[in-house]
């Protein structure tokens, strides 16, 4: 803990409709991969805190799942609860939007940010996708008009453009006080959770359509006693029998592909060799059941 009385520390909730790049932004700010990223919406299901520290400022960045206007399944409702919990009591909310059009999901996200009762800053992400740089200014003006934002920062999370000025803006809103997390902490989540998420990321990337949303990953065994080799055994939970055969794939090809890709990503991230064992299990209808969604969601 930093006991220096001149330090600042606080919590920032990143809020935004699915796919705008919240997790990409947190990873860029933390300078490590702590939140998974895919081109598919609703990738993030849990409330994850990324911790950014420098000499005298520490910012806990909350990657909260977006609010779902569709609350058909218990899993969706659990994700909404996680979203609400994500903004409670923060020092600053940051609404992340795409540099493209403003949608009703952006409006819902703004409501979520305002519900925090904290000042709301605006981040306009994916600025790199704007071919005509002259278009950026009118976009900034139009997006800024939706609320009396504490600041407006056009950035590219992917290219790490303009992050310094965003960090300055966030820092100004952090209260004086001691650090809330260890100086070298990157996240509030344990390694086995991050490992499960990395495996889920590969499943989301390789599997098509709705199936990724019916899948949960649970790391059963995580053994890092040997500093050169990590043993990870995980269960992939699906909701129906036929999903199990899709995840395994013809002749086991899909599971092999997911396993290889996850193993390489984990080895790269942990900087050790990784022994990865994956098993697929059916838990009929789990996304429709509140209790099981709370555990897995």
Site membership for ligand GTP, residue 112 (CB under 6 A): no
Site membership for ligand GTP, residue 125 (CB under 6 A): yes
d(CA 129, CA 120): 24
d(CA 79, CA 68): 8
Site membership for ligand GTP, residue 129 (CB under 6 A): yes
Identity of the residue, 158 or 189, whose beta carbon is nearer to ligand GTP in the bound complex: 158
d(CA 78, CA 287): 10
We find the least distance from the C-beta atom of residue 228 to Mg ion, in angstroms, to be 32
CA distances from 143 to 25, 140, 152, 161, 250 (A): 19, 5, 9, 19, 48
| Number of residues this chain uses to bind Mg ion (CB under 5 A) | 3
Q: Find the binder of Mg ion among 43, 76, 139, 230 (CB under 5 A).
A: 43
We find the least distance from the C-beta atom of residue 162 to ligand GTP, in angstroms, to be 10
Site membership for ligand GTP, residue 78 (CB under 6 A): no
H helix or E strand, kind and range, residue 266: helix 253-270
130 class by beta-carbon count within 10 Å (0-12 exposed, 13-18 middle, 19+ buried): middle
Q: Find the binder of Mg ion among 23, 58, 243, 293 (CB under 5 A).
A: 23
| Number of residues this chain uses to bind ligand GTP (CB under 6 A) | 23
d(CA 125, CA 108): 18
Find which of ligand GTP, Mg ion, none residue 240 binds, CB within 5 to 8 Å per kind: none
Q: Find the binder of Mg ion among 19, 27, 42, 44 (CB under 5 A).
A: 44
Which part of the chain contacts ligand GTP (CB under 6 A), choosing from 46-54, 76-84, 123-131, 260-268?
123-131
100 class by beta-carbon count within 10 Å (0-12 exposed, 13-18 middle, 19+ buried): middle
Per-residue binder mask for ligand GTP (CB under 6 A), 137-176, x = binder: -------------------xxx------------------
Site membership for Mg ion, residue 187 (CB under 5 A): no
Q: Find the binder of ligand GTP among 39, 138, 227, 251 (CB under 6 A).
A: 39
- Spatial contact of 279 and 236, defined as CB atoms under 8 Å apart: yes
Identity of the residue, 8 or 47, whose beta carbon is nearer to ligand GTP in the bound complex: 47
d(CA 16, CA 98): 9
We find the least distance from the C-beta atom of residue 28 to ligand GTP, in angstroms, to be 8
Which part of the chain contacts ligand GTP (CB under 6 A), choosing from 40-48, 206-214, 264-272, 285-293?
40-48
We find the least distance from the C-beta atom of residue 65 to ligand GTP, in angstroms, to be 6
DSSP 162: T
We find the least distance from the C-beta atom of residue 260 to Mg ion, in angstroms, to be 24
- Spatial contact of 263 and 234, defined as CB atoms under 8 Å apart: no
d(CA 132, CA 45): 34
d(CA 194, CA 104): 32
Region of residue 117 (left: phi > 0; alpha: psi -120 to 50; beta: else): left
Q: Which residues bind Mg ion (CB under 5 A)?
A: 23, 43-44
List contacts with ligand GTP (CB under 6 A): 16, 18-24, 37-39, 41-44, 66, 125-126, 128-129, 156-158
């Amino acid at each position: 803990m930093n006991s220096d009385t001149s330090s600042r520390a606080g919590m920032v909730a990143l809020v935004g409709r699915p796919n705008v790049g919240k997790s990409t932004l947190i990873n860029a700010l933390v300078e490590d991969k702590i939140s998974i990223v895919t081109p598919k919406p609703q990738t993030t299901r849990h409330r994850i805190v990324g911790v950014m520290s420098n000499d005298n400022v520490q910012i806990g960045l909350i990657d909260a799942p977006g609010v779902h206007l569709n609350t058909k399944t218990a899993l969706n409702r659990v994700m909404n609860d996680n979203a609400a919990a994500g903004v409670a009591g923060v020092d600053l909310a940051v609404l992340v939007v795409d540099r493209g059009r403003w949608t009703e999901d952006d409006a819902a996200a703004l409501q979520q940010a305002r519900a925090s009762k904290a000042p709301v800053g605006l981040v306009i992400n994916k600025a790199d996708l704007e071919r005509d740089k002259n278009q950026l200014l009118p976009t900034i003006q139009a997006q800024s008009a939706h609320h009396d934002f504490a600041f407006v920062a056009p950035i590219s999370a992917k290219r790490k453009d303009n992050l310094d000025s965003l960090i300055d803006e966030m820092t100004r809103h952090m209260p004086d006080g001691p650090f809330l997390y260890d100086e070298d902490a990157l996240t509030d989540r344990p390694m086995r959770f991050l490992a499960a998420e990395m495996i889920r990321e590969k499943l989301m990337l390789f599997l098509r359509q709705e199936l990724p949303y019916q899948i949960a990953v649970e790391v059963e065994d995580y053994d890092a006693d040997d500093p050169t080799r990590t043993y990870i055994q995980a269960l992939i939970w699906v909701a129906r029998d036929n999903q199990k055969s899709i995840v395994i794939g013809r002749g086991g090809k899909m599971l092999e592909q997911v396993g290889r890709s996850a193993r390489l990503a984990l080895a790269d991230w942990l900087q050790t060799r990784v022994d990865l064992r994956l098993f697929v299990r059916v838990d009929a209808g789990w996304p429709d059941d509140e209790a099981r969604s709370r555990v897995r969601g």
